[in-house]
Amino acid sequence: MKITFAIILASVYGLIIRLMFGFLSDVLEIMSISFLFILPSLIGFLTIILLPLRAVKNRTRAFFLPWLTSLLLFIITVLFSVEGVICWVMVYPFFSTMAGIDGIIAYQFKSNKLKKGTDNPKLKLSLLAILPLFAGLLERDASSATSQYQLSRSVVIEASTVAVWNKITHIRLISSNENRSLFTDVVGFPRHTSTVIDTLIAGGHRKAMFEKGLYFDEVITELKPLQLLTVAIKA
């Protein structure tokens, strides 16, 4: 029962941090060192530190119990469409390993405390809990410099120039039946839902909207009607 409680509590903590990173996406990056390194470490540490030493028993269990916490977090975020399956498939081995390493650190910490006469170390867990958010803010500030990438691709379309131009500049709402496949559903790729342009002139904005709050904000940098539409994309 104590193990179940610790796993659930640590998973809920991980879910809250994930939701906060999503809610504060303007100032926090999910694909960051703070999220990918610090969060799993704290999840693993929290899982073990909440348990009495006799329930953990040894370093092997201290390493693998946080894997269950990571798995529960995986299941919850996928079920509620917070994350896609493909994201977790790629990150789970690393995420769980980081959690397991800090599970061992927590076990050793508790062992040292036990030798000093206590099996209930009091930690400033509240300060540790907000560490990913604080580190994320610092990391975002340090990495605020922008980079530019250029991608070229050509496609031949059997349609009139006017028809192609209208498709590029006037994309209506896309229904789920038009742009969905079993593969994208399984792996959790966000579906393209619409693209809107505020003004069809150089300097105008074109925004491509996807599910799960993903969008690409594009600025029209060059425009030649029926010939050329160049945009600079900011994710």
Average pLDDT, the chain: 81
Higher pLDDT residue, 25 or 224? 224
Contact 162, 185 (CB under 8 A): no
Amino acid letter for position 106? A
What are 133-177's pLDDT values in tens digits? 778 777 765 555 555 666 677 888 888 888 888 877 777 667 666
What are 97-142's pLDDT values in tens digits? 999 999 999 999 888 877 776 555 555 667 777 888 778 777 765 5
Beta strands in the chain (DSSP E): 192-197, 205-210, 215-224, 228-234
Higher pLDDT residue, 140 or 5? 5
Segment 14-34 shows an average pLDDT of 79
Query: Taking 90 as the threshold, does the pLDDT of residue 188 lie above it?
Result: no
Query: What confidence score (pLDDT) does residue 54 get?
Result: 87
Contact 217, 233 (CB under 8 A): yes
Q: The pTM is what?
A: 0.61
Query: What confidence score (pLDDT) does residue 216 get?
Result: 82
Tell me which of 5-19, 65-79, 193-207 is least confident.
193-207
pLDDT-derived band of residue 89, with 50, 70 and 90 as boundaries?
Answer: confident
* CA distance to 9, 44, 58, 69, 109, per residue, from 215 (Å): 33, 33, 47, 31, 44
Closest C-alpha to 103, from 57, 135, 36: 57
Higher pLDDT residue, 27 or 167? 167
> Among 30-44, 49-63, 185-199, which range has the highest average pLDDT?
49-63
- CA-based torsion, 123, 47, 126, 29: positive or negative: positive
Query: What confidence score (pLDDT) does residue 83 get?
Result: 80
**122: part of which helix (H) or strand (E)?**
none
Query: Taking 60 as the threshold, does the pLDDT of residue 219 lie above it?
Result: yes
**212: part of which helix (H) or strand (E)?**
none
Using the structure block, give the residue that is written with the tokens 């269990």. 61
**What's the rounded Cα separation, in Å, for the pair 201 and 223?**
6
* CA distance to 6, 72, 82, per residue, from 3 (Å): 5, 13, 25
Contact 62, 56 (CB under 8 A): yes
Query: What confidence score (pLDDT) does residue 98 get?
Result: 94
